[in-house]
Amino acid sequence: MQKNEEEPLSPMARVFQSPGIDLCALINIGFKTKINPDVVLDALKQNVYKHPQSENGEKWIETKVNVEDHVIVPYIDPEEICEIGQSFVDDYISRLTLIPLDRSRPLWDIHILNVKTSDAEAVGVIRFNHALADGMSFISLVLACTNKTSNPDMLSTAIPSVKRRSTVSHSLEKNGWFLRAIFTIGSTVRLIWNTLVDMFLLFATVLFLKDTKTPLKGGANVRSNPKKFYHRNISLDDIKLIKNVMNMTINDVLLGITQAALSSYLNRQYEQAKNSEEDGALTSYPNNLPVGIRFRAGCTVNLRSDIGFKPLAEMMVKDSKCRWGNYFSFIILPLSIGLETDPMVYLKKSKAMMARKKHSYQAALTYFLIKISLKVLGAKATTSLFNQHLMNITTCVSNVMGPMEEISFHGHPVAYIYPSSYGHSHALLIHYTSYAEELTITITVDPTVIPDPHKIFDDMEESLKTMKAVLWERGLL
């Protein structure tokens, strides 16, 4: 390929593929039938992929791929697996986090595990360096490779269009110019103020502002520790029900549930610590949480002007408004950790927090500053600053919308899809992914810090159940 045809990496892609970060993503796909490896190989052959190949990692170049080098089918003795298929898969994926991708070839591989788990007959694991794409891009790739289960002749394109919400109410739009002008001035002042505060807190986080040390916060070596990945499905209809009754977004509901669950989990952890200090006395304290916990989460924000899913071919077009790649940024969410007698308080706090964050240019400015930093300070210094920011907060959360109906890969029906990542400086990551009528919660943990992640799932399910029950008792359902 000629030099003028080469494409530069996006700022986030350059950061993710730097040796100081080397952030990798996983897409775990459960299948309802055993997988034929030949089908996967045939589907991948004759394709051209792009990956950062130049010496300084600044350009994409096209390269031919030897597919056999990237598709791995380990030998599995069924007699050794027996009834522990899920544990085998969990341990296998965890070991992958300790094995770096081979930088002499395109930075991805696919692992086929024909092992029966708790909710699938076989599992496919797609591993890739996060520099290749973000979650939205790879979901589009999955859709391009699959078909609707209900109609195998049709590609799986069943993802609704998404539009950014207007910040101007319909009532104001109908009023006169004076009220609209007052609202515009007030909104602009708040936007500027919110952005200044957010950027100040971002710089403070990079330099010195750290979260409270809690049982969920990792130490200095957490990035190099092996990670484990767990998932659990909940009803997407229940989430939508609360969303409609409370007049909020799905993200608001998910963050409210997350705040409630993490508060309950941490309260138990502190209670156990107190009981241990009191020589094992089984004293029950209603509230064991320290006052004023600073617990923040990094949250990904899609920066594309068109935030809806598009066909893969359209995303690959050079001037597409919904381009393939890493076109997203981060914002910092201050999660509310505390016990509330009314579970609806968690939802109200999450709604207010998200409304406040949406009325700020922090995400766009952060992306711009990373781009400038790469030019002025170079990749190594920028990566160091980015990693310092991650180390000073506790976790990251993301939500990726998936297909609305069941899909199949060349005759293999898909049971679930969930993405995650590793190589970060957190002991806890939380991802949400919708698929068909369910929502999959994925938790990535450092098991040396969080040995009981299933209890976080239990707290999430209990929080959702309690919120729904309260709405029912108040006659809102």
pLDDT of residue 41: 84
CA dist 143 and 217 (Å) reads 35
pLDDT tens per residue, range 380-400: 899 899 989 999 999 999 998
Question: What does the DSSP assignment read for 179-205?
Answer: HHHHHHHHHHHHHHHHHHHHHHHHHHH
pLDDT bin (cut points 50, 70, 90) of residue 172 is: low
Residues 7 and 51: their CA atoms lie apart, in Å, by 10
Active site residues: 130
Buried b (16+ CB within 10 A) or exposed e, 332-362: bbbbbbbeeeebbebbbbbbebbeebbebeb
The mean pLDDT value for 55-66 works out to 70
State residue 4's pLDDT score.
Answer: 43
pLDDT at 12 over 90: no
Average pLDDT over residues 336-362: 95
d(CA 13, CA 17): 6
Percent of the chain residues past pLDDT 90, beyond the cut: 52
pLDDT tier at 2, thresholds 50, 70, 90: very low
Phi-psi bin for 101: left (phi > 0), alpha (psi -120 to 50), beta? beta
What is the rounded average pLDDT of the residues 75-103? 87
- Rounded to an integer, the average pLDDT of 356-385 is 92
| pLDDT in the model for residue 379 | 86
Q: Which of 56-70, 170-184, 305-319, 437-451 has the highest mean pLDDT?
A: 437-451
Q: Percentage of the chain surpassing pLDDT 70?
A: 84
**Residue 327: is its pLDDT beyond 90?**
no
* pLDDT confidence band for 158 (50 / 70 / 90): low
Determine the Cα–Cα distance for residues 101 and 385; give it in Å rounded to an integer.
24
Residues 362 and 198: their CA atoms lie apart, in Å, by 6
Residue with tokens 């508060």: 263
pLDDT at 106 exceeding the cut of 50 = yes
pLDDT above 60: residue 341: yes
Q: Indicate whether 323 pLDDT > 90.
A: no
Query: Measured between alpha carbons, how far is 8 from 371 in angstroms, rounded to an integer?
Result: 12
pLDDT score for 266:
97
Q: What is the CA radius of gyration of the chain?
A: 23
Strand partners, 408: 147, 413
Q: Quickly state the pLDDT bin for 137 (edges 50, 70, 90).
A: confident
Encode pLDDT of 429-447 as tens digits: 999 999 988 999 999 999 9
Question: Which pLDDT score, from 0 to 100, does residue 1 have?
Answer: 36
Q: Which of 238-242, 309-313, 321-325, 449-453 has the lowest mean pLDDT?
A: 309-313
pLDDT for the residue 54: 44
Q: What mean pLDDT comes out for the span 419-423? A: 91
Segment 213-226, tens digit of pLDDT:
999 998 878 988 99
Going by C-alpha positions, the residue among 431, 400, 26 that lies closest to residue 231 is 431
Phi, psi torsion values for 254, nearest 5 degrees: -65, -40
Tens digits of residue pLDDT in 252-283: 999 999 999 999 999 999 998 777 666 555 55
What tokens were used for 364? 């766009």
Same fold yes or no, 7-148 and 186-402+424-474: yes
Mean pLDDT of the chain: 85
Closest C-alpha among 198, 142, 221, 231 to residue 442 = 231
Domain segments of the chain: what residues?
7-148, 186-402+424-474
Calculate mean pLDDT across residues 22-40: 90
What is the CATH superfamily name and number for domain 186-402+424-474?
A: Nonribosomal peptide synthetase, condensation domain (3.30.559.30)
The pLDDT assigned to 102 comes to: 87
Quote the pLDDT of residue 316.
64
14 or 464, higher pLDDT = 464
For 232, phi then psi, to 5°, come to -150, 140
13 within 8 A of 326, measured Cβ to Cβ: yes
Are 216 and 427 spatial neighbours (Cβ–Cβ below 8 Å)?
yes
Q: Which amino acid is at 179?
A: L
Q: Token pair for residue 220? A: 């200095």
Q: What is the pLDDT of residue 239?
A: 96
Region of 411 (left: φ > 0; alpha: ψ -120 to 50; beta: rest) is left
What is the CATH T-level fold of the domain 7-148, as seen in this structure?
Chloramphenicol Acetyltransferase (3.30.559)
| Residue 320 pLDDT exceeds 70 | no
Worst-scoring range by mean pLDDT, 171-175, 229-233, 422-426? Answer: 171-175
Q: Which amino acid is it at 298?
A: G
Alpha carbon distance 462, 257 (integer Å):
9
